[in-house]
Amino acid sequence: MLDGWIKPRLDPVLDELARKLAATGVGADTVTVVACAIGLAATGAIAFGYLWSGLALLLISRLGDGLDGAVARLDGKTDYGGFLDIVLDFVFYGAIPLGFVLLDPAANAVAGAVLIFTFYVNGASFLAFAIMAERRGLSSDVRGEKSIFFTTGLAEATETILLFTLFCLLPGGFAALAYAFAALTAYTAVSRIVLARRSF
């Protein structure tokens, strides 16, 4: 929901960073892998209770996630790059809640499992919609130029990053925040299923 507001404001910064990075010979796929590795490092920091370090690492990771697309636009996008970006995004989005489950299993395990479950269902609806849209020759630039057909919803990247930030700032509120966001994520998935029924 907020991606449409933040993207035009963030893109000029990312484009400038991408020009400098591309000039050094670093490719988009490398940025994607490094961003995911930093995200996994954030998960480890969170699991061991270093929440401020975890927050810094996860924000750097998401900066890298935006930066890889900007580098790809300069160097030339590839299908493999788009595939890798999507897969490693899902790795990151599942890993951060897992970090909080490992931090305090007694308090966070059930809520973390519910949140990861709704991420799984939402991701499946997103990717299945993209596959069917591709088969029908549909395209969308609602969130800029993407590797696959991109459908929007209440729970998008910006909202998820804000959620993860709140997890780090308010770790005692993890369960309540996770349940609330799981509801938004489930609503997004159901909305996409309804959209698919109308579209296909």
Closest by CA to 151, choosing from 160, 159, 141, is 141
Domains of the chain plus CATH, in order, are 3-199 (1.20.120.1760)
For residue 84, how many C-alpha atoms fall within 13 Å in the half-sphere facing its CB?
19
The answer to whether the pTM exceeds 0.95 is no
Q: Which residue's structure tokens are 């930066």?
A: 67
CA distance 55 to 60: 9
Give the model's pLDDT for residue 123.
92
Task: List the structure tokens of 187.
Answer: 């609503």
pLDDT tens figures, 19-75: 888 888 889 999 999 999 999 999 999 999 999 999 999 999 999 998 998 898 888
CA distance 171 to 72: 36
Residue 142 φ/ψ, nearest 5 degrees = -60, -30
pLDDT tens figures, 145-161: 555 556 666 667 889 99
Helices (H), 104-173: 105-135, 157-169
Give the model's pLDDT for residue 143.
46
